Structure 1
Amino acid sequence: MKAITIIQPWATLIALGEKRFETRSWSTKHRGPLAIHAGKKIDKEACEVPEIKEALARHGYTGNNLPTGAVIATTNLERVYPINHHAEHLNLASSINEQGDIEEIFENNEYAFGWYEEGLFAWKLDTLRRLTGPIPAKGQQGLWNWEGVQP
């Protein structure tokens, strides 16, 4: 199964179902199963952003008890959207197709949980399966192969 390493708190936000899009500077042709690996780094400053802090607290997490160095969920990478409209003052971004139609709008907590500048990509995740406990694994950059428990 393909896997992606994501620093905390974003990996846990995905595993909890609070974050449905992972924003990246690169696209991928991969579609299908994807393991979410919580990297060893915790962005403590991000854990204090009100929207993130509140989402973590709803599930009993803080910046001090997030799992690290482990696969914590599996999901399905359904689609990758290019971000081509960004209105920071409105706290929203969107993907607009070649015909000029809005394909997806990223706003509210989803906007607060990602990096939605024009030229980046939003990976739509669905069919989330949170693992019963973290499975230790060494992460890598980019997509990598994880041989652990399959969904």
Structure 2
Amino acid sequence: MRGLTVHQPWAWAIAADLKPVENRTRATRHRGEIAIHAGKRWDEAGAWDWRIMGAAKSEEPLEPDERFVFGAIIAVAELVDVTRAGPSPWAEPGQVHWLLANVRPIGTPVPCRGWQNIWDVPPDVEAAVRAQLGRAA
């Protein structure tokens, strides 16, 4: 299983199946299953983003609270395409848009160290994630 680290609150929005696009500076050839890892950093720009505030049904910028997990895999999604012409309000101009589908949140986040770019999920972490998804590794 491959993993992708995303800062909060963006990772929360992906895991809640509210944000179907992850904006990156680079493309990837990977397609298929990808673990969504909530990084350890809070992105203040995301807390003020109108899309995040709308998804959270908040009129105020978000603050880190119990909704937001850090340093763990919180969902698994399908990376279905990578494009520069993202068909979504979540697609940022000038970025590469990684289109996500079939998001499955993990009931109990699985602690794990994240990395930049796409990375290989350690076997023990993958087993714990797959057990929650009801599938063998």
Q: Normalising by structure 2, what TM-score?
A: 0.80
| Equivalent position of 1:98 in the other structure | none
Q: Aligned to 2:105, what secondary structure does the other structure show?
A: strand
Give the C-alpha shift of residue 49 in structure 1: 2.7
Cα distance in 1, alignment partners of residues 22 and 49 from structure 2 = 17
Structure 1 position 77, deviation (Å): 0.6
Please, which runs of 5 or more residues in structure 2 have no aligned partner?
Answer: none
Closer/same/farther in 2, CA of residues 11 and 105 from structure 1, 3 Å limit: same
Distance across 2 between alignment mates of 1:64 and 1:76: 27
Cα displacement (A) at 1:121: 1.1
Alignment of 1:87-106 (within 5 A): 95=85, 104-106=86-88
- What fraction of aligned residue pairs are identical, expressed as a percent? 32
CA contact (8 A) 1:42 1:63 kept: no
State the match for 2:53 in structure 1: 53
Name which one, 1 or 2, has greater alpha-carbon Rg.
1
Greater strand percent: which structure? 1
Corresponding position of 1:89: none
TM-score (norm. length: structure 1): 0.73
Q: Which runs of 5+ in 1 are unaligned?
A: 84-94, 96-103
Q: Which amino acid aligns with 1:72?
A: I
RMSD: 1.7
2:73 & 2:7 partners in 1: Cα distance?
12
Aligned positions, number: 121
Deviation at 1:40, TM superposition (A): 0.2
Q: 2:3 & 2:15 partners in 1: Cα distance? A: 13
